[in-house]
Amino acid sequence: MVLSVSETTVRTTSHPSPSSLAAPVTHHGAVIGPLGLFTVLLGAALPLIDFFIVNVALPAMDSDLKAGPALLELVVAGYGVAYAVLLVLGGRLGDMAGRRRLFLIGMAAFGVTSLACGLAPSAWTLVGARVAQGAASALMLPQVLATIQATTQGPRRAKAMSLYGATAGLSMVAGQILGGVLVAADVFGSGWRSVFLVNVPVAVVGLFLAARTVPETRSDRPATIDVAGTLLLALSLLSLLLPLTEGRAAGWPLWTWISLGVFPFAALAFCQVERRADRLGRTPLVPPSLLDLPSLRRGLVMVVPFSIGFSGFMFVVAVVLQQGLRLGPVAAGLALVPMALAFFAASLAGPRLIGRFGTRVVTAGGVIQAVGIALLTLTVWQGWPGLGVAELAPGVAIAGLGQGLQLPVLIRLMLSDMPADRAGVGGGVVVTTQQSALALGIATLGTLFLALASSLGMRDALVVTLLVQLGLIVVTVLLSLRLPRVMR
């Protein structure tokens, strides 16, 4: 049964603010105003920006810290794995202790750990700070979707969810653009450290705004922590993502194969423990009954290949632009501006197109993205090595247009039927799936590209990687045909 917000209890303890007073107060409980929505979307943007912002800064980190490829990949993987492992738990804690409270704790921790990353004196210190930063992100991000679900209704919720999807996609592209600009700017001689230090003042502003404009909500039936489920989910994700990300750079030692061998058993045990808890009337970490919602189940299946292709593309492009085409960090960032602009335009048009064509907008977006990647593949094959920002722009822009018609719609769809009292865990499941797939994309497509580059050369390795992504896009197009045609 799908519960409306009026069938659940939402407790409010927010301080009055101009934005919250301007919002229409209804009997449903807490209502988030425009400034509060901006604040939680800022909290959604920061973790995703920081997942991608390091891609362009890795060469500078290597030069300064003498890290080597294995430690550099840990800088990326440590954040992504900690983030993915703890997201569902972060959502559950928000349901229990209050989502604004966890958002504030996560924002504060994100600022502190960003400062630690920016001041790291060695590569291993940076890796540790990045793991802690990923954990902070996992406390903050699930509260965003849960707060939107609990404080909006009807058209306002649809608009807020579309804005969340647009924010997520734009943040992933903007991260690499911002990273290139900051590294090249070398603010006060900080070099690559500025990509982390810039988060500190933003986090301070976010804390101030959140304390004044974000209403407090929590589940009226908070569940206890599923310890067994949490540990098994952590083991499953760690045993898969860590060896895939680190294996190539480390030379595939024995521990990577043992870890991969553990993964299927850990995943199976996790599924069985969660099903048993559901049957016994307990509240598992990831309730299998959530997958009875067709919109969530079909959206999750589709977001996996989409996110794998997206993150793999972003990582590979960052390497190719700087090491293959010898572009500086600013040019490497500017090469993705057409993608960001096209994604933004598609995100703005998405809600109107959904009202007219339903979820077939996602199918059209996949086809457009495929055209963009095919054009980019042809451009690389024919124009290498004399490629610049202008030559890459058409393919990149068309791909961004297609992505912008998919991701915001998918995120809105996956949570369209979510009961309000499960907003925290539902948001945690969505962002965990997306984040795990993002990390898996870097681990798989990134590893494939780097392995092929040493034998085939960078051009042919890029072409093969783009063709693999094209195959993933075909999968998403076919899966999109099974989405519910109409979206509420």
- Phi (first) and psi of residue 416, to 5 degrees: -65, -30
Q: Is 188 left (phi over 0), alpha (psi -120 to 50) or beta?
A: left
Confidence of residue 421 (pLDDT cuts 50, 70, 90): low
**Can you tell me the distance from the alpha carbon of 118 to that of 124, in angstroms, rounded to the nearest whole number?**
13
* pLDDT band, very low/low/confident/very high, at 488 (cuts 50, 70, 90): low
The residue ranking higher by pLDDT, 251 or 420, is 251
308-336: average pLDDT: 84
Considering only 93-102, 103-112, 237-246, 418-427, which range has the smallest mean pLDDT? Answer: 418-427
Work out the mean pLDDT of the chain and round it to a whole number.
83
Higher pLDDT, 416 or 477: 477
Q: What is the pLDDT of residues 458-471, one digit of tens each?
A: 899 999 999 999 99
Q: What is the mean pLDDT of residues 452-456?
A: 87
Work out the average pLDDT over 434-438: 84
pLDDT, tens digit (0-9, with 9 covering 90-100), for 261-295 = 999 999 999 999 988 888 887 778 778 878 888 88
Instruction: Quote the pLDDT of residue 473.
Output: 94
- Region 81-87: mean pLDDT is 83
Residue 424: pLDDT band (50, 70, 90) is low
Does residue 182 carry a pLDDT above 80?
Answer: yes
Instruction: Please report the pLDDT score of residue 260 as a whole number.
Output: 94
Residue 28: per-residue pLDDT: 43
Share of the chain above pLDDT 90, in %: 31
Residue bearing the bigger pLDDT, 10 or 404? 404
- pLDDT of 11 over the 80 cut: no
Split at pLDDT 50, 70, 90, the class of 481 is: confident
d(CA 118, CA 176): 17
3-class SS string, the chain: CCCCHHHCCCCCCCCCCHHHHHCCCCCCCCCCCHHHHHHHHHHHHHHHHHHHCHHHHHHHHHHHHCCHHHHHHHHHHHHHHHHHHHHHHHHHHHHHHCHHHHHHHHHHHHHHHHHHHHCCCCHHHHHHHHHHHHHHHHHHHHHHHHHHHHHCCHHHHHHHHHHHHHHHHHHHHHHHHHHHHHHHHCHHHCHHHHHHHCHHHHHHHHHHHHHHHCCCCCCCCCCCCCHHHHHHHHHHHHHHHHHHHHHHHHCCCHHHHHHHHHHHHHHHHHHHHHHHHHHCCCCCCCCHHHHHCHHHHHHHHHHHHHHHHHHHHHHHHHHHHHHHCCCCHHHHHHCCHHHHHHHHHHHHHHHHHHHHHCCHHHHHHHHHHHHHHHHHHHHHHHHCCCCCHHHHHHHHHHHHHHHHCCHHHHHHHHCCCCCHHHHHHHHHHHHHHHHHHHHHHHHHHHHHHHHHHHHHCHHHHHHHHHHHHHHHHHHHHHHHCCCCCCCC
Determine the pLDDT at residue 1: 34
Confidence grade of residue 356 (pLDDT, cut at 50, 70, 90): confident
Q: Quick one: average pLDDT of 329-338?
A: 83
Most confident of 71-80, 131-140, 445-454: 131-140
What does the block give as tokens for 406?
A: 């998919």
